[in-house]
Amino acid sequence: MIRSFSRLSTRVSLPTASRAFSAEVETSWTDAWNAATENMKSNITFEESAEILRNLTKTDLLRATDLRDSPSRFFEAHRILARHAVEHGPGFWIRFTVHYNLFAGTIVAAGDEEQVSRLADYQAAGELGCFGLTEKLAGVQSGLVVQTTATYDEASDEFILDTPNEGARKNWISQGFVADKAVVLADLIVKGESKGPHAFVMDFRSSGSLVPGVKIDDMGSKTVGNDLDNAWIDFENVRLPKDSMLRRYAEIVDGEYIIKGDVRPFDMIGQRLYTGRIAVAQAALEYRRALFSKTKSYSDSKKMFAFSGEPVLSEIPQLEALYEENEERLGRLDEYVGDCEAALSEVLKEGGTPDTRLVDCIATAKVKAVEDSIEMVHRLRQEVGSFALMADAGFKHTDFLQCCKFAEGDSRILMSKIARDRLRLVEKGQDMDSEEGKQALGLAMAMKGHLVKGASKQEAWDKEWKGVYELAETVMDRVMTDGPTV
């Protein structure tokens, strides 16, 4: 796949249509984003940051349905904003993706036509949404297990949203202090029976005030991104109308729970993790690209002492080698993540779900792009001396990469799943002769040694944690080589 170049840096590898799109709108869109965010800085209040996003949504530069209708626009918008994180931190980028990917994207994926049509009204009014999935004791890392309940009340034909205990409070909910609407993930209870996690869209505030039964509080000050509000949320007998449940794939009809078609609501809600992982991978790469570019501009002009000539900092061998290595590694990741975006975009436009191969590729893209960026940015910091300490150098916002590390599936959790899936093949006697299979077999035998000594399966897994992550690295290297398409 051919990579195109902008004036300052390598551009992400994209499918032909997306490259044409980027070439057509890059300058005008960047100017428009800059105009909309001209007052954005890392020390603005979260209310000011939210107002910027409200104004931005009203411009219609990105529609709430573009994730389905024009995925290239969705991903390009995320990349453009990620470049600002070096100067402004990650707060606004996170606020943006929470609204467009998690809130609006879930409605697009799991809502019916009438529910999706409401997004245009939200956008025209500049109304913002938050996404209530993660809880104090459950959430993304537990496989979308949630304790919050939405009990169907047949007498009133409503749902009752409730937080049964403190551990079920929604946790780290970005935009929780300003959101007008919310998509909340809750365990649907019908006639005393759990139907699993379902998504409900609700009015979160009315005339600027929280709706009755909703209680929130601040998660506290953070190392970075304090222009983003993060709240814990508690629901106490909050009544939701029947049409609040996103009902493309399931609904309540005459008091009965009905599944519509072969797709589980859970699967379409999970789609936001896949789009989010691509957006997070690209954000990590764009932040890294911008920081390297800014640092190189400095080191190109920083003169060094020499007995002859006028060398600059960029010509110091170890820094020069680091710049070259970064370009090579960044180019490879650009291409791979771009291929994953192209493959996922086709699935999104068709309204389907990614197959196992693409799911693995997307998980690999997220882990590799983020972890490689963390490594290279850390190494860059070590080679540029006091410049890395300057407030305006961009290094003070490197915890953006820490946000990327745990967002939409922590890197270690994703790696554990990759290793566990590979181990299952060996347990079934499949593909045991390849080098990857032999490594998995070795891990299985090491775990068996702990099991015969009385350890539980989890204890055996934990004792062999190094082998788990080594296997995951091997699998991810192969997945990157194979790519997302056959």
> 23-37: per-residue pLDDT in tens?
555 555 566 666 666
Q: 151, 252 in Cβ contact below 8 A?
A: no
Indicate whether 270 belongs to any domain. Answer: no
Is there a single domain that holds both residue 51 and residue 108?
A: yes
Domain termination residue (choose one: 247, 264, 281): 264
Largest CA distance in the chain: 89
Structure tokens at 380: 């860059």
Q: How far apart are CA 380 and CA 388, in angstroms?
A: 9
CA angle 295, 327, 345 (to 5 degrees): 110
For the chain, percent of residues with pLDDT exceeding 90: 65
Is there a single domain that holds both residue 134 and residue 256?
A: yes
Which residue has 């009544």 as its token pair? 239
The total number of structural domains in the chain stands at 3
pLDDT tens digits for range 239-279: 999 999 999 999 999 999 999 877 776 666 767 789 999 99
Q: How far apart are CA 321 and CA 68, in angstroms?
A: 42
Domain termination residue (choose one: 125, 150, 172): 125
Indicate whether 110 belongs to any domain. Answer: yes
Is there a single domain that holds both residue 118 and residue 134?
A: no
Is there a single domain that holds both residue 93 and residue 193?
A: no
Rounded to a whole number of angstroms, the CA Rg of the chain reads: 24
187 DSSP β-pair partners: 149, 197
305 pLDDT band, cuts 50/70/90, is confident
User: Taking residues 75-103, what's their average pLDDT?
Assistant: 91
Is there a single domain that holds both residue 228 and residue 215?
A: yes
Q: How far apart are CA 472 and CA 459, in angstroms?
A: 19
Domain termination residue (choose one: 125, 151, 180): 125
Indicate whether 136 belongs to any domain. Answer: yes
Is there a single domain that holds both residue 199 and residue 212?
A: yes
127-141, 180-194, 395-409, 436-450, range with the lowest pLDDT: 127-141
Indicate whether 167 belongs to any domain. Answer: yes
Indicate whether 135 belongs to any domain. Answer: yes
DSSP helix/strand/coil, 39: coil
* Domain harbouring 217, CATH code: 2.40.110.10
Is there a single domain that holds both residue 153 and residue 228?
A: yes
Is there a single domain that holds both residue 72 and residue 112?
A: yes
User: Taking residues 144-170, what's their average pLDDT?
Assistant: 93
Is there a single domain that holds both residue 77 and residue 200?
A: no
Q: 112, 244 in Cβ contact below 8 A?
A: no
Is residue 1 scored above 50 in pLDDT?
no
Query: Which helix (H) or strand (E) element contains residue 14?
Result: none
Is there a single domain that holds both residue 119 and residue 145?
A: no
For the chain, percent of residues with pLDDT exceeding 70: 88
Indicate whether 57 belongs to any domain. Answer: yes
Is there a single domain that holds both residue 69 and residue 20?
A: yes
308 pLDDT band, cuts 50/70/90, is confident
Which residue has 């209870």 as its token pair? 189
Is there a single domain that holds both residue 152 and residue 109?
A: no
pLDDT of residue 60: 83
14-18, 266-270, 332-336, range with the lowest pLDDT: 14-18
Indicate whether 378 belongs to any domain. Answer: no
Report the chain's mean pLDDT, rounded to a whole number. Answer: 87
Q: How far apart are CA 439 and CA 127, in angstroms?
A: 52
435 pLDDT band, cuts 50/70/90, is confident
pLDDT tens digits for range 465-474: 999 999 999 9
476 pLDDT band, cuts 50/70/90, is very high
User: Taking residues 110-136, what's their average pLDDT?
Assistant: 94
pLDDT of residue 179: 97
451 lies in which domain range? Answer: 413-482
Q: Look at the alpha carbons of 447, 452, 453, 455 in this order and tell me if their dihedral is positive or negative.
A: positive
42 pLDDT band, cuts 50/70/90, is low
User: Taking residues 330-347, what's their average pLDDT?
Assistant: 95
Indicate whether 241 belongs to any domain. Answer: yes
What phi and psi values does residue 397 have, to the nearest 5 degrees?
-100, 15
Give 413: exposed, middle or buried? Use CB within 10 Å, 0-12, 13-18, 19+.
middle
pLDDT of residue 469: 95
* Cβ-proximal residues to 483 (8 Å cutoff; 6+ apart), any chain: 336, 339, 361
User: Taking residues 182-202, what's their average pLDDT?
Assistant: 95
6 pLDDT band, cuts 50/70/90, is very low
At position 486, the amino acid (one-letter code) is V
